[in-house]
């Protein structure tokens, strides 16, 4: 299975938005509607390689300070048995 490793900016959430999401049971952020801006994208052929690349991207200063995050996303479903 192939994987996509993405480093993104973290959007700030206003207190009002958090309160509304808490009260209604909704979400503060919905990646399907409004994805976070991408900073870097890398492909990997297997899970082990994807996790290794994600760990490497996690050492970036902005990620360590909490300004950005690293996501590992599968590109294909599991192989049929």
Tokens of 6: 């993405």
77 pLDDT band (50/70/90 cuts)?
low
Residue 44 lies in a domain: yes
pLDDT digits (tens, 9 = 90+) for 4-21: 999 999 988 889 989 999
Residue with more model confidence, 77 or 65: 65
- Could you list the residue range(s) of the whole structural domain that residue 16 is in? 3-74
Q: What is the DSSP letter of 25?
A: T
The number of domains in the chain is 1
- Quick check: 63 pLDDT over 90? yes
Q: Is the residue at 16 inside a domain? A: yes
Can you give the chain as a three-state secondary structure string?
A: CCEEEEEEECCCCCHHHHHHHHHHCCCCCCCCCCCCCEEEEEEECCHHHHHHHHHHHCCCHHHHCCCEEEEEEECCCCCCC
Mean pLDDT of 15-31: 88
């Amino acid at each position: 299975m192939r994987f996509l490793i993405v480093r993104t900016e973290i959007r700030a959430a206003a207190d009002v938005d958090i309160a509304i999401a808490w009260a209604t049971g909704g979400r503060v952020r919905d990646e399907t509607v409004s994805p976070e801006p991408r900073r870097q994208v890398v492909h990997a052929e297997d899970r082990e390689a994807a996790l290794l690349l994600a760990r490497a991207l996690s050492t970036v200063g902005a990620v360590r300070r909490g300004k950005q995050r690293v996501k590992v996303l599968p590109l294909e479903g599991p192989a049929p048995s």
